[in-house]
């Protein structure tokens, strides 16, 4: 039985005898994409699904995210899973602000994406009201395969992002729209 093994593609480069030359954007993007450190912010049933994503059956470590960080200063991918009450909103924003750039956010499940079935005064109707979100993972709760797909989408964002994108006027306007300096 032959299995298909997908290797990370080497960036386009100029190769010669004993050397290879490419751009910093490509090399740093490849390194970032394959060494994302997730910070799980899990509150409900989506948190249980994230736990199974980290377990041996689905094994998030295959994607370079084997080290979950429970310190925002050492994480670069925030995984918000589950229902976020409005009182928790400032805490989620504070965690986001403590993360170093570059940072990416995944909203896992219907509650983190849109408030889910909880259309009440106390539930935040999507974390994109307080912090920018890069990838939405649908479902109630989403399957571990969906969470893995969301992580792979963040990998693509990390791999293809310019080193200077976060210094652009467009990115600063996005942060200002969330009252983030």
Q: Which residues are annotated as a binding site for [4Fe-4S] cluster?
A: 45-46, 111, 140
The binding site comprises 45-46, 111, 140
Q: Which residues pair with 104 in a beta bridge?
A: 77
Q: What is the distance between the alpha carbons of residues 39 and 122, in angstroms, rounded to a whole number?
A: 24
Return all residues near 145 (Cβ < 8 A) that are at least 6 apart: 58
User: CA angle 43-52-153, nearest 5°?
Assistant: 85
Tokens coding 66? 């084997």
**Distance set, CA 35 to CA 38, 61, 152 (Å):** 10, 10, 12
Identify which of 102, 115, 97, 104 has the alpha carbon closest to the alpha carbon of residue 43: 115
User: Are the beta carbons of 138 and 146 closer than 8 angstroms?
Assistant: yes
- Phi, psi of 105, deg, nearest 5: -130, 135
């Amino acid at each position: 039985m032959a299995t298909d093994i997908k290797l990370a593609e080497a960036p386009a480069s100029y190769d010669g005898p004993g050397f290879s030359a490419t751009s910093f954007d490509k090399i740093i993007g490849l390194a970032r994409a394959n060494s994302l450190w997730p910070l799980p912010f899990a509150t409900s049933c989506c948190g249980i699904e994230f736990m199974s994503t980290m377990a041996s059956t689905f094994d998030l470590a295959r994607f370079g995210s084997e080290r979950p960080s429970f310190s925002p200063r050492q994480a670069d991918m925030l995984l918000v899973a589950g229902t976020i009450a409005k009182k928790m909103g400032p805490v989620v924003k504070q965690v986001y602000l403590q993360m170093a750039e570059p940072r990416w956010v995944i909203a896992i499940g219907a509650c983190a994406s849109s408030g889910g079935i909880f259309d009440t005064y106390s539930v935040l109707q999507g974390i994109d009201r307080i912090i920018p979100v890069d990838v939405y993972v649908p479902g109630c709760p989403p399957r571990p395969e969906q969470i893995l797909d969301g992580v792979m989408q963040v990998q693509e964002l990390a791999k293809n992002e310019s080193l200077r994108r976060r210094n652009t006027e467009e990115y600063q306007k996005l942060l200002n729209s969330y009252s983030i300096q």
